């Protein structure tokens, strides 16, 4: 017997933040804390608990500003929902049976760069 729990967090909160997003940031950071704590509680029962933290993901409700911000990632575009889904599918699969208590960031490398303005700084 085994189980998989995959929570959807965000990079906003546990990794970065934005002005006027205090409650959102707190909720998503709490989701990561819950993921880690629950992972410890249920690991011996064959259950893994992980989180996926998306960055700029383009959806039908994305604003022009959000899409533009996604273009400033090192990969040069916002993410796609299916890219987040692929990370979730991996964590839910047998291939992730030894992965627990972790947060996988799906953000095109955005959280690893200091400069986040338009243009090409280094590439």
pLDDT at 95 over 90: yes
pLDDT at 120 over 80: no
pLDDT for 122 equals: 54
The domain spanning residue 50 has which CATH number? 3.40.50.720
23 in a structural domain: yes
Count up the domains in the chain and report the number.
Answer: 1
Residue 40's domain comprises 3-111
pTM: 0.90
- Give the model confidence (pLDDT) of 55-78 as tens digits: 999 999 999 999 999 999 999 999
pLDDT for 113 equals: 87
13 in a structural domain: yes
The token pair at 47 is 């259950």
122 in a structural domain: no
pLDDT at 24 over 90: yes
Per annotation, catalytic residue among 2, 24, 98, 123: 24
CA neighbours within 13 Å on the CB side: how many for 72? Answer: 15
- Residue 122 a catalytic site member: no
The token pair at 31 is 């989701």
């Amino acid at each position: 017997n085994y189980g998989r729990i995959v929570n959807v967090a965000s990079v906003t909160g546990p990794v970065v933040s934005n002005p006027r997003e205090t409650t959102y940031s707190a909720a998503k950071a709490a989701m990561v804390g819950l993921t880690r704590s629950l992972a410890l509680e249920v690991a011996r029962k064959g259950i893994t608990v992980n989180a996926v933290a998306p960055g700029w993901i383009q959806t039908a409700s994305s604003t022009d500003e959000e899409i533009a911000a996604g273009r400033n990632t090192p990969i040069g575009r916002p993410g796609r929902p299916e890219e987040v889904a692929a990370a979730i599918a991996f964590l839910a699969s047998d291939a992730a049976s030894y992965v627990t208590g972790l947060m996988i960031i799906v953000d095109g490398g955005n959280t690893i760069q200091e400069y986040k303005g338009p243009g090409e700084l280094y590439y």
